[in-house]
Amino acid sequence: MKLMYIIVRQDNEADVVDALINKGFRITKLATSGGFLRKGNTTLFSCLEDKDVDTAIEIIKNECGHTQKIQVDMPINLPSTAINYTTLPTTIEVGGATIIVTDVYKFERF
């Protein structure tokens, strides 16, 4: 048995949850925030059989596997000036999912 942690952008949450539930997976979700962009994320938890891990990952890839580039202002330190920091426009990729799979010692459902 495995515990899968799935972190997705809020934009993808509904599609991922619906697709996993439609395939019979049980999902618990938490609203979370990303540390880098400080944007809303959703962290999903699913306890599943070992044989179902690859299927779940494929479903997640199909629903949020694309990324897009966005423009953000990144803080940088400028020690040689009176200003402690400034921002520079930077392009980064967002999207996709972060998936962590761990072994489960014990699982019970009441």
pLDDT surpasses 80 at 95: no
The architecture in CATH of the region 2-66+95-103 reads 2-Layer Sandwich (3.30)
pTM (two decimals)? 0.71
The alpha-carbon radius of gyration of the chain (Å, integer) is 18
pLDDT at residue number 9: 84
- Per-residue pLDDT tens over the stretch 31-86: 787 655 566 788 999 999 999 999 999 999 998 866 666 566 666 655 665 555 55
Q: Using an 8 Å Cβ cutoff, are 1 and 106 in contact?
A: no
Residue ranges per structural domain of the chain? 2-66+95-103
> Distance between CA atoms of 39 and 17, rounded to whole angstroms?
19
pLDDT at residue number 47: 95
